[in-house]
Amino acid sequence: MDHVALRIPPSSSVDLASHPTRSEAAWSDTKEAGKERVKALARQLRDLQEVFYAEGTRRLLVVLQAMDTGGKDSTIRDVFGRMNPQGVKVTSFKRPTEAELAHDYLWRVHPHVPGDGEIAIFNRSHYEDVLVPRVDGLVSEEVWGRRYDHIRDFERLLFDEGTTIVKFFVHISKEEQAERLQARLDDPNKHWKFETGDLATREKWDDYQAAYAALRGETSTDYAPWYVIPGDRKWYRKLVIGEIMVGLMTSMDLRFPAPESGLDDIVIA
């Protein structure tokens, strides 16, 4: 599948309305076949990550952003869930704590970036600090506007020090979000996922779409690109992200470390 069209070119103007939330243009088979393909991709990622972890010389950061109900959790579970947890760490960035607010906004992020042989997955990320403050008016435009520069420099630092970065924005429609929120209300087992604050955020839908579009254009770079993923169909969202991840990790030409010499002569008594 060709995913070039989903990648945001550096320093480009982004109109999210021009990006589909429901698309299967790159998949000609059935939904059931798509779901099976997701499982196959997860197995491929498991095998690739085994070599990545054994090699122990590279770092990979995956950023997932979406509106509420966008499917970040299930993407992590179904696309990345077969990987060896020793080499994968998932960090969910929620509302900042008092301790975090007492520092610069990137202070809470840096400790969670990957080390050698690690894959770090951010469920939400440092981008919350150019979204929420802008939409809710918590700081001035001068403050949140200069954070684009900070983030580009931060990601450039990570890249220069050996981290490969890929960022996914799962793009869902307002209608699809309404269905998913209602499903959480209709199922008592999903009530724990529902927060009334989600409704307040939903009321600011257009403001968040504008903020997301701006940060995509400002922070998609050659070294840390953004992909806009059609998200209204859950299986298709996972399939596309899985395809991009397999393509990315395959392109790394990963190799197991060379074994010690003389292993062929060893016989375990």
In this structure, the number of other CB atoms found within 10 A of the CB of residue 263 comes to: 7
| pLDDT level of residue 181 (50, 70, 90 thresholds) | very high
Q: What pLDDT shows up at residue 67?
A: 93
pLDDT of 1 reads 55
Q: Exposure string (b/e) for 116-150, b if CB count within 10 Å is 16 or more?
A: ebbbbbbbbbbbbbbbbbbbeeebeeeebeebeee
Mean pLDDT, to the nearest integer, of 154-171? 97
| Buried/exposed 66-80: b ≥16 CB within 10 Å, e otherwise | bbbbbbbeebbebbb
In this predicted structure, which of 2-11, 115-124, 129-138 has the lowest mean pLDDT?
2-11
Indicate the DSSP class of residue 196: T
- C-alpha 96/C-alpha 92 separation (Å) is 11
Instruction: Give pLDDT, residue 24.
Output: 63
> How far is residue 226's CA from residue 236's CA, in Å, rounded to a whole number?
18
> Residue with structure tokens 């001068």?
142
Global pTM value: 0.94
Q: How many whole angstroms separate alpha carbon 231 and alpha carbon 83?
A: 23
Residue % of the chain over a pLDDT of 90:
78
**pLDDT tens by residue, 86-98:** 999 999 999 999 9
pLDDT value at residue 23: 77
The pLDDT assigned to 138 comes to: 92
Residue 196: band (very low, low, confident or very high) from pLDDT cuts 50, 70, 90: confident
Domains delineated in the chain: 4-252 (3.40.50.300)
Phi, psi of 198 (to 5 degrees): -60, -30
Q: CA nearest 205: which of 158, 254, 172, 165?
A: 172
Q: pLDDT per residue over 28-48, tens digit each?
A: 678 899 899 999 999 999 999
What is the pLDDT, as a whole number, of residue 15?
A: 85
In this predicted structure, the answer to whether residue 26 has a pLDDT above a threshold of 70 is: no
Q: Give me the pLDDT at residue 60, please.
A: 98
Phi and psi torsions of 188, nearest 5°: -55, -30
pLDDT at position 2, please?
65
Residue 269: pLDDT band (50, 70, 90) is confident
Q: What are phi and psi of 8, to 5 degrees?
A: -85, 120
Q: What is the pLDDT of residues 207-251, one digit of tens each?
A: 999 999 999 899 999 999 999 999 999 999 999 999 999 999 999
Mean pLDDT on 112-136: 96
Q: Position 211: which residue type? A: A
